[in-house]
Amino acid sequence: VQLQASGGGLVQAGGSLRLSCVASGTTLSINAIGWYRQAPGKQREFVARISSGDSTIYADSVKGRFTISRENAKDTVYLQMNSLKPEDTAVYYCKAVVDDPYGNEYDYWGQGTQVTVSS
């Protein structure tokens, strides 16, 4: 499984961005895709996740502002980010959780996309 993240950029506080994560390879084995972010000097943190059954979960810091969704026909997961704050500035990564036929889980990471929110 390969992941390609895109959609980052520079936006003013209160603005919006939509990130995309396109999966390729054995995408049928993907159990869930999540978004994570890492700000300078900080550890990578969970942002949102969507399962193959379309259940979603969000970090408290982004609830009500971010929405994760998927478009199966395009093997793409989106992260719609509204009401952006300067503290949302980070490199955003997508991660796929993949099951193998033996019940093992593996993580696959995409490259990051930079989101910068100016005050």
In terms of C-beta distances under 8 Å and separation of at least 24 residues, what long-range contacts does 100-104 make, across chains too? 100/29
Averaged pLDDT of the chain:
95
Task: Please state the φ and ψ torsions of residue 30, each to the nearest 5 degrees.
Answer: -75, 125
- The answer to whether 109 and 35 are in contact (CB under 8 A) is no
Task: Check residue 103 and give its pLDDT.
Answer: 84
**Cβ-Cβ contacts under 8 Å for 63 (sequence gap 6 or more):** none
Q: What is the per-residue pLDDT across 93-105, written as a single tens digit (0 to 9) for each?
A: 999 999 888 888 8
Q: What is the per-residue pLDDT across 27-67, written as a single tens digit (0 to 9) for each?
A: 778 889 999 999 999 999 999 999 988 999 999 999 999 99
For the segment 79-103, the average pLDDT, to the nearest whole number, is 95
Query: What is the arrangement of strands in the sheet containing 2-6, beginning at the earlier edge strand?
Result: 2-6, 17-24, 76-81, 66-71
**pLDDT for residue 89 is more than 90:** yes
Task: Check residue 28 and give its pLDDT.
Answer: 78
Please tell me the distance from the alpha carbon of residue 102 to that of residue 114, in angstroms, as a whole number. 36
Is residue 65 classed exposed, middle or buried when 0-12, 13-18 and 19+ CB atoms within 10 A define those classes? middle
